[in-house]
C-alpha cells in the first residue's frame, strides 16, 4: 500500500500545489493588455485631436513622442522603486496615476497641455513592465516564468491590436475626449481587483499551500539575490550596449504601428477612418503571434541567427512597401514586418539573462529604456520628415529600414551564448532561455 493511501483527503490535497500563481499571471496579462490599450488609443484619435487643437504634423509628432521620452526616462527609477517598496504598492499607485492622465488627455486644450499630460502618462506607465517582471519572477517557477513572459509580450501586441476599433467605437459614441475617460476607468477597476487579491510575497497569501511554496523556493532566491559589483559600470560593456542598441532598432520600427500607421493608411492609401481601424489591427495581431512563436522555438535553434534573419526580413519588406499600391498587400506586408520583428522580442529579453547574469533585471530595464527613447525619437523624426518633405511617407519607411538593417548587423556581432561558460552565482538560469 503506498504511503499516501493512509492520508486523509485534506492531507492528500496538501501534497498537490495550489494554483494561486496562475491568478498572478492573470493580473500580469490583463495589465499588459490594459497598458497597451491606454497608450495606443491616441493613435486612432490623432486625426480628431489634431483638428480640434489645430496641430500640424510636426506638433502631433511631438505629442506622440512625449510618451516615449518620459517612459524611457522613468524606466529604471520606477523599477528601483518597485524593488524597494514592493510590487503591490507601486503597481497600484502607477496604474491609478497613469489612468488619471489617460482621462486628463480628454481635457487638453492646446499643444502644451496635451504634451504635458502625455509626458506624465508615460512616466506612470514606465513602472509597468519592470514591476510585472519582478512579480512573475517571484511568483512563478522557472519553466512557467518563461512561458508567462512570452505570453505577456504577445498580450501587449494583442491589446494594441484591439485598440483601434475600440477607440473608434468610443470616439463615435462619446467623442475623443470622453473616450479617454472611459479607457481610464478600466485602470481603476483593475486596481480594485489587484489590491484585493494580490500579495507581494507568496508566503503572505493564505491561499498558497506548502507544496506551491516549495515550487517557488528558487524564485524567492532569485529575487533576494544581492549584486556584488556596480551596475552602472557593467552597462557600458560592449555586449550590454549592443543588446540595448538592437532593441532600440526594432522599437524604432515598431513605434510606427502605434503612432503613425492610421494616418499613413489614410493619407498614402486613401482609407476611411473605419477601414483604418480595422486594418491597423493586423500588424499588432501578427506581432503577438511572432512573440509566441519565438518563445516556443526548440532550444537547438540559435536565437541569435533567428534575430539576424528577422531583422533582415524586416529591412527587405520596408524597402518594398513604398513600391506597392494595393492597400491589402501593404497591410499584409506590415503584418509580416511586425511578425518578423517581434520574433526578436522574447529573444532580446531572454538574452538579458545570458548577458546580464546577476544583473539580469538591470540590463532588462536599461534595454527597455533605450527602446523607449525610440518611442520619443521615431514619431518626432517622422513628423519632421512629413512636415518638411511634402508628406513623403517613403522617406519615413526608408529610414525605418536603415534601423532594421543596423539591428541585423548588431546581432551578427552579438553572441549572448558566449556568456554561458562564465555563468556564476547560486541561481542557475534556464537552458531554454539560451539565445
pLDDT digits (tens, 9 = 90+) for 274-297: 787 778 778 888 988 998 888 777
**pLDDT tier, 435 (very low <50, low <70, confident <90, very high otherwise):** very low
Q: Are 417 and 304 in contact (CB under 8 A)?
A: yes
Residue 19: predicted pLDDT:
87
**How much helix, strand and coil, in percent to the nearest 5, is found in the chain?**
85, 0, 15
Position 7 in a domain = no
Quote the crossing angle between the two packed helices 128-139 and 360-388, to the nearest 10°. 150
- What would the mean pLDDT of 151-166 be, rounded to a whole number? 80
Q: Are 127 and 82 in contact (CB under 8 A)?
A: yes
Please give the Cα distance from 153 to 298 (Å, whole number). Answer: 19
Q: Is the pTM of this model over 0.85?
A: no
Q: Are 368 and 247 in contact (CB under 8 A)?
A: yes
DSSP 85-149: H-HHHHHHHHHHHHHHHHHHHTT--SHHHHHHHHHHHHHHHTTHHHHHHHHHHHHS-HHHHHHHH
For residue 392, the Cα-to-chain-centroid distance in whole angstroms is 29
Tally of domains in the chain? 1
Residue 23: predicted pLDDT:
92
- What would the mean pLDDT of 89-104 be, rounded to a whole number? 93
Position 11 in a domain = no
Q: Are 331 and 298 in contact (CB under 8 A)?
A: no
Position 1 in a domain = no
pLDDT of residue 224 exceeding 60, the answer is no
Per-residue pLDDT reduced to its tens digit, 76-87: 788 777 777 778
- Core vs surface per residue 193-204: b (16+ CB within 10 A) or e: ebeeebbbebee
For residue 343, the Cα-to-chain-centroid distance in whole angstroms is 13
Q: Are 358 and 228 in contact (CB under 8 A)?
A: yes
Position 165 in a domain = yes
Q: Are 330 and 269 in contact (CB under 8 A)?
A: yes
Q: Which residues contact 262 (CB under 8 A, 6 or more apart)?
A: 43, 44, 46, 47, 164, 276, 277, 280
Indicate if the alpha-carbon torsion angle 322, 328, 333, 335 is positive or negative. positive
Q: Are 191 and 96 in contact (CB under 8 A)?
A: yes
Position 5 in a domain = no
Residue 334: predicted pLDDT:
94
Please give the Cα distance from 162 to 285 (Å, whole number). Answer: 8
Q: What kind and span of H or E run contains 242?
A: helix 238-258
The residue whose grid cell reads 497613469 is 98
Q: Are 57 and 386 in contact (CB under 8 A)?
A: yes
Note down the domain range covering 369.
19-416+425-433
Q: Look up the CATH number of the domain holding residue 107.
A: 1.20.1250.20
Q: Are 365 and 79 in contact (CB under 8 A)?
A: yes
Q: What kind and span of H or E run contains 173?
A: helix 142-174
pLDDT of residue 101 exceeding 90, the answer is yes
Please give the Cα distance from 333 to 304 (Å, whole number). Answer: 24
Average pLDDT across the chain, whole number: 83
Inter-CA distances, 9 with 188, 208, 212, Å: 41, 17, 18
**pLDDT tier, 313 (very low <50, low <70, confident <90, very high otherwise):** very high
Position 14 in a domain = no
Q: Say which residue, 265 or 130, is predicted with more confidence.
A: 265
Could you tell me which of 352, 375, 366 has the C-alpha nearest to residue 76? 366
Position 46 in a domain = yes
- What would the mean pLDDT of 57-86 be, rounded to a whole number? 82
Residue 38: predicted pLDDT:
83
Could you tell me which of 276, 337, 273, 345 has the C-alpha nearest to residue 306? 345
Please give the Cα distance from 293 to 339 (Å, whole number). Answer: 9
Position 402 in a domain = yes
**pLDDT tier, 61 (very low <50, low <70, confident <90, very high otherwise):** confident
Amino acid at each position: 500500500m503506498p504511503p499516501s493511501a493512509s492520508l486523509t483527503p485534506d492531507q492528500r490535497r496538501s501534497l498537490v500545489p495550489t494554483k494561486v500563481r496562475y491568478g498572478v499571471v492573470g493580473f500580469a496579462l490583463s495589465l499588459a493588455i490594459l497598458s497597451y490599450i491606454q497608450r495606443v488609443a491616441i493613435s486612432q484619435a490623432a486625426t480628431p485631436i489634431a483638428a480640434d487643437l489645430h496641430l500640424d504634423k510636426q506638433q502631433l509628432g511631438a505629442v506622440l513622442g512625449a510618451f516615449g521620452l518620459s517612459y524611457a526616462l522613468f524606466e529604471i527609477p520606477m523599477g528601483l522603486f518597485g524593488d524597494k517598496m514592493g510590487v503591490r504598492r507601486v503597481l497600484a499607485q502607477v496604474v491609478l496615476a497613469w489612468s488619471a492622465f489617460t482621462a486628463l488627455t480628454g481635457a487638453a486644450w492646446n499643444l502644451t497641455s496635451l504634451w504635458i499630460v502625455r509626458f506624465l502618462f508615460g512616466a506612470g506607465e514606465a513602472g509597468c513592465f519592470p514591476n510585472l517582471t519582478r512579480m512573475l519572477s517571484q511568483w512563478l517557477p522557472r519553466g512557467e516564468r518563461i512561458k508567462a513572459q512570452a505570453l505577456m509580450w504577445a498580450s501587449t501586441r494583442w491589446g494594441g491590436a484591439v485598440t483601434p476599433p475600440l477607440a473608434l467605437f468610443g470616439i463615435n459614441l462619446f467623442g475623443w475626449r470622453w473616450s479617454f475617460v472611459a479607457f481610464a476607468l478600466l485602470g481603476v477597476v483593475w486596481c480594485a481587483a489587484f489590491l484585493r487579491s494580490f500579495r507581494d510575497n507568496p508566503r503572505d497569501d493564505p491561499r498558497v499551500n506548502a507544496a506551491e511554496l516549495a515550487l517557488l523556493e528558487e524564485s524567492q532566491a532569485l529575487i533576494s539575490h544581492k549584486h556584488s559589483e556596480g551596475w552602472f559600470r557593467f552597462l557600458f560593456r560592449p555586449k550590454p550596449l549592443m543588446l540595448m542598441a538592437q532593441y532600440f532598432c526594432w522599437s524604432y520600427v515598431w513605434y510606427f504601428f502605434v503612432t503613425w500607421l492610421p494616418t499613413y493608411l489614410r493619407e498614402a492609401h486613401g482609407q476611411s477612418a473605419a477601414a483604418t481601424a480595422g486594418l491597423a489591427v493586423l500588424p499588432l495581431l501578427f506581432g503577438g503571434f511572432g512573440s509566441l512563436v519565438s518563445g516556443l522555438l526548440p532550444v537547438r535553434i540559435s536565437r541569435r541567427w533567428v534575430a539576424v534573419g528577422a531583422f533582415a526580413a524586416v529591412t527587405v519588406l520596408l524597402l518594398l512597401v513604398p513600391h506597392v499600391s494595393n492597400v491589402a498587400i501593404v497591410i499584409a506586408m506590415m503584418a509580416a514586418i511586425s511578425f518578423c520583428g517581434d520574433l526578436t522580442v522574447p529573444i532580446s529579453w531572454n538574452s538579458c539573462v545570458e548577458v546580464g547574469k546577476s544583473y539580469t533585471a538591470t540590463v532588462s530595464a536599461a534595454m527597455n529604456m533605450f527602446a523607449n527613447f525610440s518611442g520619443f525619437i521615431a514619431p518626432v523624426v517622422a513628423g519632421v520628415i512629413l512636415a518638411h518633405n511634402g508628406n513623403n511617407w517613403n522617406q519615413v519607411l526608408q529610414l525605418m529600414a536603415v534601423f532594421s538593417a543596423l539591428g541585423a548587423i548588431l546581432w551578427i556581432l552579438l553572441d549572448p551564448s558566449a556568456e554561458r561558460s562564465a555563468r556564476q552565482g547560486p541561481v542557475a538560469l534556464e537552458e531554454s532561455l539560451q539565445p
